[in-house]
């Protein structure tokens, strides 16, 4: 089978795997953003309990490999609770969300702390309480500054999602491996898989850049 015919035959299967990769990455960054924002607020909280607890979570998750976290969620936890079944897709989404949340927490913390303290003081002088000032003044400004590193985290998550192939989830990489096991054409498949990953990250980079320009803090 010539290269063109081979590509046209197996490309649809790889694109189907790429769709799974996109799905878990989108879910991971969406849920991770919520987790990260909550943890980020906890990190800057004046309540020591929340600050320490958030810091402990970030320290533990960032200090251990994503692959280990994935194995704990997919294999270890269900083995402790026999009634608990964890499909690979669910395990992947949970692991990526919890992992992304730790990194986004530091992004959120840095963005919040980068806002001039005068903004908070001005908001409080206008009669807003701490919560209102954070919600209406500080966080909207911090969100704009979060966008560039948040975009980078999403791009990194797309690439890191390849680890889910180890739990038999048929993402892009796992699909490629499965095709190789029946065709033994390593180079062609790896080139196609790499090209699709490159296309996904390039499109995401362009999208993030466009969003950044629209909400630029310098406008």
Give residue-wise pLDDT tens across range 90-135.
999 999 999 999 999 999 999 999 998 888 888 888 888 888 888 8
- CA dist 66 and 69 (Å) reads 5
Q: Are 105 and 142 within 8 A, CB to CB? A: no
**Which has more pLDDT, 181 or 4?**
181
For 169, other C-beta atoms within 10 Å of its C-beta total: 25
String of DSSP letters for 36-66 = HHHHHHHHT-SSHHHHHHHHHHHHHHHTS-H
Q: Are 107 and 94 within 8 A, CB to CB? A: no
- CA dist 57 and 84 (Å) reads 24
- CA dist 174 and 193 (Å) reads 10
Contacts of 177 (CB under 8 A, 6+ apart): 165
What would be the CATH architecture of the domain defined by 3-214? Orthogonal Bundle (1.10)
- CA dist 145 and 130 (Å) reads 21
Give residue-wise pLDDT tens across range 9-28.
999 999 999 999 999 999 99
Is residue 158's pLDDT more than 70?
yes
Measured CA to CA in angstroms, residue 62 lies from 104, 108, 119, 201 at distances of: 11, 15, 31, 23
- CA dist 2 and 197 (Å) reads 23
Q: What is the DSSP letter of 115?
A: S
Give residue-wise pLDDT tens across range 60-91.
999 999 999 999 999 999 999 877 888 999 99
pLDDT-derived band at 211 (thresholds 50, 70, 90) equals confident
Can you give the pLDDT at residue 23? 97
Can you give the pLDDT at residue 3? 83
Q: What is the DSSP letter of 155?
A: H
Taking the alpha carbons at both ends of the chain, their separation in whole angstroms is 55
pLDDT-derived band at 216 (thresholds 50, 70, 90) equals low
- CA dist 45 and 141 (Å) reads 18
């Amino acid at each position: 089978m010539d290269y063109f015919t081979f590509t046209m035959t197996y490309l649809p299967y790889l694109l189907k795997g790429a769709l799974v990769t996109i799905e878990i990455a989108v879910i991971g960054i969406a849920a991770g953003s919520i987790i990260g924002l909550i943890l980020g607020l906890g990190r800057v909280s004046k309540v020591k309990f929340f600050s320490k607890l958030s810091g402990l979570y970030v320290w533990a998750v960032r200090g251990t490999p994503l692959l280990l976290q994935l194995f704990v969620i997919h294999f270890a936890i269900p083995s402790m609770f026999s009634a608990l079944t964890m499909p690979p897709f669910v395990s992947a989404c949970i692991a990526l969300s919890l992992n992304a949340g730790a990194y986004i927490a530091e992004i959120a913390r840095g963005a919040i702390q980068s806002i001039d303290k005068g903004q908070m003081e001005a908001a409080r002088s206008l009669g807003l309480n701490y919560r209102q000032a954070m919600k209406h003044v500080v966080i909207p400004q911090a969100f704009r500054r979060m966008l560039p590193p948040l975009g980078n985290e999403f791009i990194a998550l797309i690439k890191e999602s390849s680890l889910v192939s180890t739990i038999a989830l048929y993402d892009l990489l796992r699909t490629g491996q499965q095709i190789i096991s029946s065709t033994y054409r390593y180079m062609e498949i790896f080139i196609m898989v790499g090209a699709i990953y490159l296309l996904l990250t390039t499109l995401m980079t362009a999208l993030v850049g466009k969003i950044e320009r629209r909400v630029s803090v310098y406008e």
